[in-house]
Amino acid sequence: MTQAPARPQSGSTFESLNPATGEVVGTHPVQTAEEVQAAVDRARVEAEWWAALGFAERKAHLNAWKTLMTRRLPELADLVSREMGKPASDAMLEAGLAVDHIAWAAGNAKKVLGRHHVSSGMLMVNQSASVAFKPLGVVGVIGPWNYPIFTPMGSIAYALAAGNAVVFKPSEYTPGVGGWLVQTFQEAVGRPVLQLVTGLGETGAALCRAGVDKLAFTGSTATGKKVMAACAETLTPVVIEAGGKDSVIVDADADVEAAVDAALWGACSNAGQTCIGVERVYVHEQVYDEFVSAITAKATGLEAAEGGKIGPITMPSQVEVIRSHVQDALDRGGRAVLGGAGAVGDRFVQPTILVDVPEDSLAVQEETFGPTLTISKVRTMDEAIEKTNATRYGLGNTVFSKARGMEIAERVRSGMTAINGVITFAGIPSLPFGGVGDSGFGRIHGPEGLKEFTYAKAIARQRFKPMINLTSFDRTAKADKQFAQVLGLLHGRGRK
């Protein structure tokens, strides 16, 4: 994605704007590196208190926050809608799923992270071995604007449930939503275990350099590289949740009507500004014509407009990216069966469906982040998988097939796949979320998401004296011989 344009800025504040109308939604401070450092220092004190509470008390606090949020969801949805443009009903869906993640993280942290015994093995049979996952301390979270609740919450809720304090830098496009989340946490918990820092890119960069114990970044691949470089200076570990170029694969035996519905919603909801949004479709030649005419018919009449089902493009600079991808596709022999170059307006982009687009064009290879879709005909599912895997991204994808869903899903190089549904994995809190390649690394959600914000603490406790003491200078030649014999019995008898 291109660099975000400079925000309206006056002195040390900046404004968040309604992308549908240009109206000012709120004014927020541009926080300096010193202010970010002060927030991290405060968070360090809070982290000690929070970690000492233990799982049960943290769960009670997080549930109180979740309840407060749930009661005030319409207010939050309205704010999201004004600040980033999505319809309020979509914002409710996003917020509701985020709340469900808080509940899961709080409810499962003890089971996933609490101390548990593991086998000590034959050579160390006199030992009792156990592992627990300890909080890191202070986690910095840098979030995007496209899902300003759900996306950062994947890091915030899991980091908090694991016992960390969090300093959150929301996108400059959605600082009000970030503030709302932090304010309600303060109301529910009464202490600033979750803190807010606002500003532009430099404030995010300052958070990377403020000595946090881990930095969870969600945003574009290009910014992810900058974040990683800044964090490398202090050996601060990072989670990178970056962009995607997800496909829908439609097999010959698929329920075409369901696949059409899923592909269209996956491509155009949130005005296509979804990291796991559908940007490409590969359809088996036996159902290709049926699919193209059905999706074109269904998309006709779907309009991007103020108050419509599709909102505006949040980031003004993105409109040019979308325009360039559509134009490149058309210049290179692609056809628009719906929309096209004229569908890209100043603030709104109308649904655009492109066919016959070469696989190496921008619309197939780069993240478009608009309500656009390329559809390609394939002869086999092997070809669909090969083409799906031929981008540098690997975030999510979807497969529609009655007989071969699992088989196809296993061969797609992506962090997540939905079979006969779209984006469903994101709403299942027990499933890890994240990508490979340019989509980043590390996981949020699920047990893996909890562990991401911890370090493993291993303990070996001697239960009785060993027959052969291996870890002593008193070890005898006889002991060495016995060790070699035991080793031979354990590992020397297999096939060469």
Q: Per-residue contact track with ligand NDP, 238 to 257, x per CB under 6 A?
A: ---xxxx-------------
Are 311 and 271 a contacting pair, CB within 8 Å? yes
Which of 208, 231, 268, 275 is an active site residue? Answer: 275
Q: Is 32 in the site for ligand NDP (CB under 6 A)?
A: no
| CB of 142 vs ligand NDP, minimal distance in Å | 5
Q: Which residue carries 């360039």 as its tokens?
A: 324
| CB of 391 vs ligand NDP, minimal distance in Å | 13
| Comparison of 46 and 279: residue with beta carbon closer to ligand NDP | 279
Interface residue with ligand NDP, options 38, 53, 68, 200 (CB under 6 A): 200
Q: How many Å from the N-terminal Cα to the C-terminal Cα in the chain?
A: 52
| CB of 37 vs ligand NDP, minimal distance in Å | 15
Q: Is 291 in the site for ligand NDP (CB under 6 A)?
A: no
| CB of 301 vs ligand NDP, minimal distance in Å | 28
| Comparison of 145 and 400: residue with beta carbon closer to ligand NDP | 145
Vertex 340: Cα angle to 335 and 343 (nearest 5): 170
Q: What is the chain's percent helix, strand, coil content, to nearest 5? A: 45, 20, 35
Q: Per-residue contact track with ligand NDP, 325 to 344, x per CB under 6 A?
A: --------------------
Residues 130-189 that bind ligand NDP (CB under 6 A): 142-147, 151, 169, 171-173
Q: Tell me whether residue 241 is one of the annotated catalytic residues.
A: yes
Q: Is 85 in the site for ligand NDP (CB under 6 A)?
A: no
Q: Is 226 in the site for ligand NDP (CB under 6 A)?
A: yes
In degrees to the nearest 10, what's the CA dihedral of 489, 491, 493, 496? -160
CA distance 202 to 207: 9
Are 400 and 250 a contacting pair, CB within 8 Å? yes
In this structure, the number of other CB atoms found within 10 A of the CB of residue 495 comes to 3
Are 241 and 276 a contacting pair, CB within 8 Å? no
Interface residue with ligand NDP, options 213, 246, 366, 367 (CB under 6 A): 367
Vertex 45: Cα angle to 42 and 49 (nearest 5): 135
CA distance 490 to 484: 10
Q: Tell me whether residue 34 is one of the annotated catalytic residues.
A: no
Which of 35, 94, 172, 241 is an active site residue? Answer: 241
| Comparison of 46 and 94: residue with beta carbon closer to ligand NDP | 94
**Residue 81 tokens, joined:** 């809608």
Interface residue with ligand NDP, options 155, 220, 361, 376 (CB under 6 A): 220
CA distance 356 to 55: 54
| Comparison of 143 and 447: residue with beta carbon closer to ligand NDP | 143
441-453 as b/e, with b when 16 or more CB fall inside 10 Å?
bbbbbbbbbbbbb
- Residues contacting ligand NDP: total by CB under 6 A: 34
| Comparison of 95 and 355: residue with beta carbon closer to ligand NDP | 95
Vertex 271: Cα angle to 267 and 274 (nearest 5): 65
> What separation in angstroms does the CA of 34 have from each of 38, 194, 210?
6, 18, 9
Q: Which residue carries 């011989």 as its tokens?
A: 481
Interface residues with ligand NDP (CB under 6 A) are 1, 4, 142-147, 151, 169, 171-173, 200-201, 204-205, 208, 218-220, 223, 226-227, 241-244, 275, 315, 367, 395, 435, 440
Question: Where in the sequence numbering do the catalytic residues fall?
Answer: 241, 275
